[in-house]
Amino acid sequence: MNFKGNASRVLIVLAGIAACFALAAPATSAKASKPPVFWLDLSGTASQHPSLVFFTANSGPQVHKIKWTGWGKNRTVGRGTYRLTSPPPPGGKNPEGPARIVAWKPISCVPEFGNRKGRMIHVYRKAKMLRPVDGGGRKWVDISSYTGWVVCK
């Protein structure tokens, strides 16, 4: 009888230790959160998952109403509406329609100007856009230089 009493006490202690390990394991093995990733526009304004991306200082190509999936991860995809705001060629029409932006490879960056000047941030190093073209259809365009990494020290 004494053996059964000791065995049950040992089982209770072991169950308690196992419960402690089960509760402590997720806290010690949790991944550190990644730093936020920004998009630097032409004026140096850093924003996370921007809803508007423009490719010239005034009139020109833009993507509006962008909805992002996977922002801040190694690869993100944004879907929005491509629009060209400059005047169309005589007798022509500016292309307009759905656009997809794919950005990947976040890198460390210290912007030389803008609202995050001199502070370490992360920006996407590579990006491409699928946009409409004149006469119908769509084509991929490299937009890596518009993610903001070119203004980093």
Rounded distance between C-alpha atoms, residue 56 and residue 71, angstroms: 23
Three-class SS of 103-146: EEEEEEECECCCCCCCCCEEEEEEEEEEEECCCCCEEEEECHHH
Q: Is the pLDDT of residue 106 over 60?
A: yes
Query: Which residue matches tokens 């993610």?
Result: 147
Q: Is 42 helix (H, G, I), strand (E, B) or coil?
A: coil
Helix (H) or strand (E) holding 16: helix 2-29
What confidence tens digit (pLDDT) does each residue in 13-31 have? 556 666 555 555 444 444 5
Report the b/e string of 56-72 with b at 16+ CB within 10 A: eeeeebbbeebebeebb
pLDDT, residue 18, reads 60
pTM for the model: 0.76
**DSSP state at residue 50:** -
Which of 45, 72, 77, 73 is CA-nearest to residue 146?
45
